[in-house]
């Protein structure tokens, strides 16, 4: 995924599915380096499982 598209998804009110390594995630924030994002797994009680992902490795479904 490109940085601009990640920004659009993050600011959108729509439910846009994004996958990281084949797993559905939410984008929490884009990091200042412009190359990584903080994400967490989608689903109930998944907010604690945050991780960093390369934006280029995020895939819009």
Per-residue confidence (pLDDT) for residue 42, from 0 to 100: 84
Per-residue confidence (pLDDT) for residue 46, from 0 to 100: 58
Domain ranges of the chain: 3-60
How do residues 6-24 score in pLDDT, each as one tens digit? Answer: 999 999 999 999 999 999 9
Grade residue 39 by pLDDT with cuts at 50, 70 and 90: very high
pTM for this entry? 0.85
CA distances in angstroms from 26 to 21, 54, 61, listed in the order given:
13, 14, 12
Contact 12, 18 (CB under 8 A): no
Per-residue confidence (pLDDT) for residue 13, from 0 to 100: 94
């Amino acid at each position: 995924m490109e940085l601009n598209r990640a920004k659009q998804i993050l600011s959108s009110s729509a439910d846009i599915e994004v996958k990281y390594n084949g797993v559905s995630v939410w984008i929490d924030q884009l990091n200042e380096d412009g190359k990584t994002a903080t994400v967490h797994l989608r689903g109930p009680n998944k907010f604690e499982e945050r991780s960093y992902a390369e934006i280029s490795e995020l895939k819009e479904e």
